[in-house]
Structure 1
Amino acid sequence: MEGKHKITESALTQPLVELEANDISVKEGNTSFFKTCFNGLNAITGIGILSVPYALAAGGWLSLILLFIIALAATYSGLLVKRCMEADPSIKSYSDIGEHAFGRIGKVVVSVVLYADLYMVVTGFLILEGDNLHNLFPEITFDLFGISIDGKSSFIVLIALILLPTVWLDDLSILAYVSAGGVLASFVILISVFWVGAFDGIGLHNKGELFNLNGLPTAVSLFMFCYSAHPVFPPLYTSIQKKHQFSTVLLLCFTVCTLSYAIMAVLGYAMFGAGVNSQITLNLPKHKVASKVAIYTTLVTPLAKYALMLKPVALSTESWFPTYQKNKSFKILIRTSLVATQVIVALAVPFFGYLMSLVGALLSATASLTIPCLCYLKISRTRWGGEMVVILSIILLSILIVIFGTYTSMVQIIGEITNS
């Protein structure tokens, strides 16, 4: 039993340490304040910016307040991650924090949550690509072994086949540099959407709904999905030259990203009202230049990040089989199987908004709010006071998001599958 337990722990935790030490890219203590800010922005910004207008439409204008509340909670829990890192110089990764607080069980739980989060986010990339390509080329269908496949499903399979060789690579340093353009891509999309609304005839005239209680769980879950970068903070903290500047880095990154999310949410809802899709790019008029810029930028971004984000999941899975772990053919088989399972999930649940809502509620809230707060309370042994009240309030918020957001998302997904 003891040997089995050791294999399980290694399989769940060691790959993440390797990713954080090697693939996020930086030598300990050698990164400037500016570069750390850029890395932080790149970690926090992502495909969530496409779904915030849909989130605002689900909850109504007043739900925008919840975006700022979640942003404040995520910022504070990010600072708690920093404090956990300061408690012991040996802590280098997110899973190390879990181990330092709760031992081996804590390390395993944190790793499982992180890997599940990464797996589902990367699956969302396939759905995102399929939706946008089908929007651009709605008439295209494919025949595979005599079976006719509709356009959206065809594009999901096609994109997976294109991405598959990148997943086989062990050295992803080139893709890491490409993925750093994610920050720029987010701002390009934001500017393009604004241009379409202001100058391409769409206008910003939709009044929208003030408040929708029934759509609140969906809105909160999608807002939460936008703040799921906390597992990246430990290597960023380790890399920065002047550790006391890291709090400023977090505050700056969360402020910039939150303003970007809020602006995109307001723009999209004001442009398309209740008719806004789960991805704002699906609403844009395809014949406009600014729309094409936004759509093609959206297509390129996941292509650059897919292999990088799937790597820790692949390494973890390979570690379950230590005898074959260094066998190249076996690694290709494992990674191909992972991509195949993601294609199956993407085809079975092709609802981007609902899936990201589920990920935000179940995984992002746990990884970015619950875990940092619980670990900090255990490590610091905080006594009752103002800080304790704040931390317990964040934990309560995360539990409510998990319960109501997960339930609502599952009901929506099951309903869509049943009706399709």
Structure 2
Amino acid sequence: MNAIMGSGILGLSYAMANTGILGFSILLLIVASLASYSVFLLLSMCTQTAVTSYEDLGLFAFGSAGKVLVATTIIIQNIGAMSSYLLIVKSELPGAVEGLLTGAESGFSNRSWYLDGRVLLLLTSVCIVFPLALLPKIGFLGYTSSLSFFFTVYFTLVVMIKKWSIPCPLPLSSAMETLQVSNSTGDCKAKLFHLSKESAYAIPTMAFSFLCHTSVLPIYCELQSPSKRRMQMVTVTGIGLSFLIYFMSALFGYLTFYDKVDSELLQGYSRYLPHDTIIMTVRAAILFAVLLTVPLIHFPARKAVLMVFFSHLPVSWICHILVTLTLNTIVVLFAMYVPDIKNVFGIVGSTTSTCLLFIYPGLFYLKLNREDFISPQKLGACALVIFGICVGLLSLVLILFNWVHQ
């Protein structure tokens, strides 16, 4: 569940605002169901081929080219995911620090290094993310994953409670800045279905939010007695509970801000409830959740890099440390200079996420399984591939079109 839930939870209210409540519910249910089904296909192929990684499935299906393609996709996807998490650290940590240091004079504190998002991002990456990412086995992150999950649940509960603390229509100004917000009661009506140019970000954000496939196989392989049936139960339960948490946080986030919801949900609370103690604690909780999830995503990314570029070298701690450091550096640089989290969700979600979530599992199953083509599983795999290609291409084209015409 920690591998599933991360920065995506902050972008789903924005997706709901641009698809409507019913439209969002249908799309989220489709993506969650297909994510569960694609994990089932991956586990089936692991049992059949006795391989222990996503990259080796690519090797079995399409030779060296398949292995390199999967590894490259995983590297890009995980760099995008880690960047989106650290982007939250950059945007939210300064406000959390400022909230704790209420005694500081505002004129002085705004110029202080400890309120610079980029400096804080660098510090947390060096002191927290890098040491945890250096751990030799993914199983060591079980305890931090539990903490991260409870922080996410806490965030969802606060979003539900705080719906009643922010009035609608939204106030025209706040203590922090003047807001250009309409004061019409028409802004307080939820839409069941909605379509706009921003709707193109909806499915990529959902695909990004449910992608746990690169972590499922390493976790499965480190179990004491791996069983496909029990792992499938774990997957279905994890995705089901994640769906529930995602839906509730997205719904109440949308019903709080309606069409004025930010692409990163916490920004709205920071704007309208800047000194609220509970919002400060939930901001800290999300920051901890994000920081504890980034090392989890480092594992499959580092494994993919080692398999593509260093498979000819013996396993060594020096190589392990250098690859971890390089990945960490790239991710921090991306997080420092990407302006908006929805851009990460859009581009990474419509390309690498759709490949790893829909296209690759379906393609590999079609190639490796010996069943008749008209068998239910092969037809399902075929539908998964077609859905992934159509959704990925359509979303990417619309997002690029939006960028060109901004």
Residue of structure 2 equivalent to 1:211 = 194
Note closer, same or farther for the CA distance 1:207–1:368 as it changes in structure 2 (3 Å cut). Answer: same
- Cα distance between partner residues in 2 of 1:170 and 1:371: 29
Q: Deviations over 1:67-102 (max 9, x none)?
A: 1111121121121112212213x2222222222222
Residue of structure 2 equivalent to 1:364 = 353
- Cα distance between partner residues in 2 of 1:257 and 1:376: 26
* Structure 1 stretch displaced more, 307-316 or 106-115: 307-316
Tell me whether 1:377 sits opposite 2:366 in the alignment.
Answer: yes
Residue of structure 2 equivalent to 1:296 = 284
Q: Deviations over 1:171-192 (max 9, x none)?
A: 4776552233222222111111
- Cα distance between partner residues in 2 of 1:85 and 1:42: 22
Is 1:277–1:283's contact at 8 Å kept on the other side of the alignment?
A: yes
Residue of structure 1 equivalent to 2:155 = 189
Percent of residue pairs identical: 21
Task: After TM superposition, give the deviation of residue 258 of structure 1 in Å.
Answer: 1.1
Alignment match of 1:252 (pick from 220, 237, 242):
237
Which residue identity does 1:226 align to in structure 2? S
1:279 counterpart SS class: coil
* Structure 1 stretch displaced more, 204-213 or 228-237: 204-213
2:18 counterpart SS class: helix
Note closer, same or farther for the CA distance 1:167–1:233 as it changes in structure 2 (3 Å cut). Answer: closer
Note closer, same or farther for the CA distance 1:334–1:81 as it changes in structure 2 (3 Å cut). Answer: closer
- Cα distance between partner residues in 2 of 1:411 and 1:186: 34
Is 1:206–1:269's contact at 8 Å kept on the other side of the alignment?
A: no
Note closer, same or farther for the CA distance 1:236–1:333 as it changes in structure 2 (3 Å cut). Answer: closer
Is 2:262–2:268's contact at 8 Å kept on the other side of the alignment?
A: yes
- Cα distance between partner residues in 2 of 1:266 and 1:168: 33
- Cα distance between partner residues in 1 of 2:18 and 2:31: 16
Task: After TM superposition, give the deviation of residue 336 of structure 1 in Å.
Answer: 3.9
Which residue identity does 1:193 align to in structure 2? V
Task: After TM superposition, give the deviation of residue 248 of structure 1 in Å.
Answer: 2.7
Which residue identity does 2:350 align to in structure 1? A
Residue of structure 2 equivalent to 1:398 = 388
Note closer, same or farther for the CA distance 1:401–1:154 as it changes in structure 2 (3 Å cut). Answer: farther
Task: After TM superposition, give the deviation of residue 327 of structure 1 in Å.
Answer: 6.9
Is 2:130–2:324's contact at 8 Å kept on the other side of the alignment?
A: no
Tell me whether 1:310 sits opposite 2:271 in the alignment.
Answer: no
* Structure 1 stretch displaced more, 45-54 or 231-240: 231-240
Residue of structure 2 equivalent to 1:342 = 331
Task: After TM superposition, give the deviation of residue 128 of structure 1 in Å.
Answer: 0.8
Q: Deviations over 1:13-32 (max 9, x none)?
A: xxxxxxxxxxxxxxxxxxxx
- Cα distance between partner residues in 1 of 2:306 and 2:213: 25
Matches within 5 A, 1:67-82: 67-82=28-43
- Cα distance between partner residues in 1 of 2:324 and 2:145: 20
User: How many residues end up aligned between the 2 structures?
Assistant: 368
Q: Deviations over 1:288-339 (max 9, x none)?
A: 33312321111111222333422444465567467797474x7655544433
Task: After TM superposition, give the deviation of residue 391 of structure 1 in Å.
Answer: 2.7
Which residue identity does 2:341 align to in structure 1? F
Note closer, same or farther for the CA distance 1:317–1:237 as it changes in structure 2 (3 Å cut). Answer: closer
- Cα distance between partner residues in 2 of 1:82 and 1:168: 26
2:197 counterpart SS class: coil
Is 1:55–1:219's contact at 8 Å kept on the other side of the alignment?
A: yes
Give the TM-score normalised by the residue count of structure 1.
Answer: 0.77
Is 1:95–1:107's contact at 8 Å kept on the other side of the alignment?
A: yes
2:298 counterpart SS class: helix
- Cα distance between partner residues in 1 of 2:39 and 2:300: 22
Residue of structure 1 equivalent to 2:110 = 140
Task: After TM superposition, give the deviation of residue 241 of structure 1 in Å.
Answer: 5.2
Note closer, same or farther for the CA distance 1:203–1:314 as it changes in structure 2 (3 Å cut). Answer: same
- Cα distance between partner residues in 2 of 1:105 and 1:216: 34
- Cα distance between partner residues in 2 of 1:165 and 1:236: 20
Q: Deviations over 1:228-283 (max 9, x none)?
A: 11122334444355543333333222221112211111111111111111222222
Q: Where does the alignment leave 5 or more consecutive residues of structure 1 unmatched?
A: 1-40, 144-148
Task: After TM superposition, give the deviation of residue 155 of structure 1 in Å.
Answer: 3.6
- Cα distance between partner residues in 2 of 1:249 and 1:318: 28
Q: Deviations over 1:338-357 (max 9, x none)?
A: 33332332233121122122
Task: After TM superposition, give the deviation of residue 385 of structure 1 in Å.
Answer: 4.9
Is 1:196–1:202's contact at 8 Å kept on the other side of the alignment?
A: no
1:350 counterpart SS class: coil
Residue of structure 1 equivalent to 2:173 = none
Task: After TM superposition, give the deviation of residue 165 of structure 1 in Å.
Answer: 4.9
Residue of structure 2 equivalent to 1:407 = 397
* Structure 1 stretch displaced more, 112-121 or 312-321: 312-321
Residue of structure 2 equivalent to 1:159 = 124
Q: Where does the alignment leave 5 or more consecutive residues of structure 2 unmatched?
A: 99-105, 170-186
Note closer, same or farther for the CA distance 1:314–1:300 as it changes in structure 2 (3 Å cut). Answer: same
- Cα distance between partner residues in 1 of 2:364 and 2:158: 41
Residue of structure 2 equivalent to 1:287 = 275
Is 2:130–2:295's contact at 8 Å kept on the other side of the alignment?
A: no
Residue of structure 2 equivalent to 1:113 = 73
Is 1:369–1:394's contact at 8 Å kept on the other side of the alignment?
A: yes
* Structure 1 stretch displaced more, 130-139 or 79-88: 130-139
CA RMSD of aligned residues (A): 3.1
Task: After TM superposition, give the deviation of residue 215 of structure 1 in Å.
Answer: 2.4
Note closer, same or farther for the CA distance 1:335–1:101 as it changes in structure 2 (3 Å cut). Answer: closer
Tell me whether 1:266 sits opposite 2:266 in the alignment.
Answer: no
Task: After TM superposition, give the deviation of residue 386 of structure 1 in Å.
Answer: 4.6
Is 2:18–2:202's contact at 8 Å kept on the other side of the alignment?
A: yes
Task: After TM superposition, give the deviation of residue 59 of structure 1 in Å.
Answer: 2.3
Is 1:58–1:212's contact at 8 Å kept on the other side of the alignment?
A: yes
Tell me whether 1:51 sits opposite 2:11 in the alignment.
Answer: yes
- Cα distance between partner residues in 2 of 1:180 and 1:103: 37
1:180 counterpart SS class: helix
